[in-house]
Chains A and B, each alone.
Chain A
């Protein structure tokens, strides 16, 4: 793997990156109250008396939050701690009604695990393992709005108390691409597990990006933390900007200040956050309103048993058991939704064609990744809102498989399926697109083509064999693409032979 290096005026620098990813746990209700978590509600409507920290209110944990965090931990091969507890992180801010965030510092729910990334899509075999330090469960904060009033900020507590997993990586990433790949892979895993919807534009997933630079081989430099970066692209941009900013500072003889920064998506730059400049002393201590969280082995086992096949395992199976290319396997497993679609496609294809899934998988994967993805892309759609269902796709592939239509006709049929939503069989029948294997008709068409191109037949016979394709093309054209390509080939060969 080639190393990412920043060329400074004084030599090479290496960038060191760690990510703290906050992922909203997919639940109906909040971590410690019965208020809803749905996105986009009217301000302060999804706020209980508990979330508003009214006097005397108490937290009661939501079992599903614990379960999903444990399932996520198991999915990254992490240690599940049977004894954990919640701590309070004390600080004052308008989005934090209790004056403390309930989090887990001393005894997190999930310990060390790892995520395998593929930093370069084009090199699907080059992987790197990124260590995960821990996953803990904590409350989200509310939201401040600064542009509604000349002298006031407005506070909306709808998000206050929503459950988050904080997934803390080790400082194992060394390039923007690795940081981007890690975040993307983590999102894939969370979506497979179903513990987070991964919708970064709605804030369901966001990253605090820790960046430092150093001379290759030297100890870690001072890091900065850029808060709440909410897309893979922005994480990469943050790393790129921060690394080169830090190199500039260091090369000018300056020092990196350990600080919290903010990413500006409009300019692609980061800036120091004034409001967080306070020297922090969070005075963490165990939350006395909550007892230790003790997990029974049966609970952990249930979490393990409920996990679906995960992306790495699926990808390996696609390559070995289904014989897909590494590239296709990578593309089809990158999203749980895509893999589900593909698996329905091959199941239905195998059923229709009376073959095994392994026998139909390659053709199906090629059709899906090149034909359907391409066509959807042109329409600005994705698989989740595709007008073509896996069942319709399987029917189309079966029509090609049994010789009813040719591959090129299949492309036309797909376009019509996307337009009309009709089944491929209906379209083929209606438009008369069936392939013809009538030898007489084919011979007649071939003879006409050869007669019309006597000069080229001479050239062919004189040794210009490349003209064979020309005759095939002309014949197919004459037959409006419906000639059985194998038969057309045979007849031309026989006539010219």
Chain B
């Protein structure tokens, strides 16, 4: 499969990466080169093969329903949560106004 400039623009938009027309033009052959290369996977016979779900046999562990059992993954750390925010006001993160 291959991509055209319009496809690249659409992917960039889905990925929320602003691209100029010149960047799109440059990406088209690059991405097509990579896609043509990965397309060879299509030739592998995978009939009856399950997609890999766990690389090492291991089961999903569940944790007990306890608040703050490990302080590293518990709440009540607002200062830490907001410490690196580009815009934090009154205990909130600020973003450009959204119209819903």
Contacts and interface: CB of A to CB of B under 8 A. Distances in A.
A–B interface present (Cβ within 8 A):
yes
Interface of A: 27-29, 33-36, 42-52, 54, 57, 60-66, 85, 92, 94, 144-146, 148-157, 262, 273-275, 281, 283, 286, 290-294
B80 interface: yes
Nearest to B62: A63
A45 B59 contact: no
Q: Which 3 A-B pairs have the closest CB atoms?
A: A35-B75, A154-B92, A64-B65
Interface in B4-39: 14, 16
Contacts of A47: 75, 77-78, 81
Contacts of A46: 75-76
Interface in B40-92: 53-54, 58-70, 72-78, 80-82, 87, 89-92
A85 B52 CA distance: 13
18 contacts: A34-B74, A35-B74, A35-B75, A44-B78, A45-B91, A48-B74, A48-B75, A49-B72, A62-B63, A63-B62, A66-B62, A94-B95, A146-B97, A148-B92, A152-B95, A156-B92, A275-B99, A294-B59
- Name A's interface SS: loop
Contacts, number: 155
A47 B68 CA distance: 11
Nearest to B65: A64
Contacts of A64: 64-65
A237 to B, nearest CB: 19
Contact of B98 (A57, A85, A148, A275): A275
Nearest to A60: B63
A338 to B, nearest CB: 28
Contact of A146 (B60, B61, B81, B100): B100
Interface residues of B, number: 40
Given A61-B63, A274-B100, A294-B60, A154 B93 contact: yes
Nearest to B80: A49
Interface of B: 14, 16, 53-54, 58-70, 72-78, 80-82, 87, 89-100
A60 B61 contact: yes
Given A45-B76, A48-B75, A34 B69 contact: yes
Contacts of A35: 67-68, 73-76
B90 to A, nearest CB: 7
Contact of B60 (A94, A152, A153, A292): A292
B62 A61 contact: yes
B98 A94 contact: yes
A262 B89 CA distance: 28
Given A28-B65, A28-B66, A29-B66, A155 B95 contact: yes
Contacts of B74: 33-35, 48
B81 A153 contact: no
A36 B77 CA distance: 12
B66 to A, nearest CB: 6
Contact of B64 (A63, A146, A154, A155): A63
Contacts of A34: 63, 66-70, 73-75
Point out which of A33, A44, A92, A156 has the most chain B C-beta atoms below 10 A from its C-beta: A44
B54 A292 contact: yes
Among A29, A54, A294, which residue has the most Cβ atoms of chain B within 10 A? Answer: A29
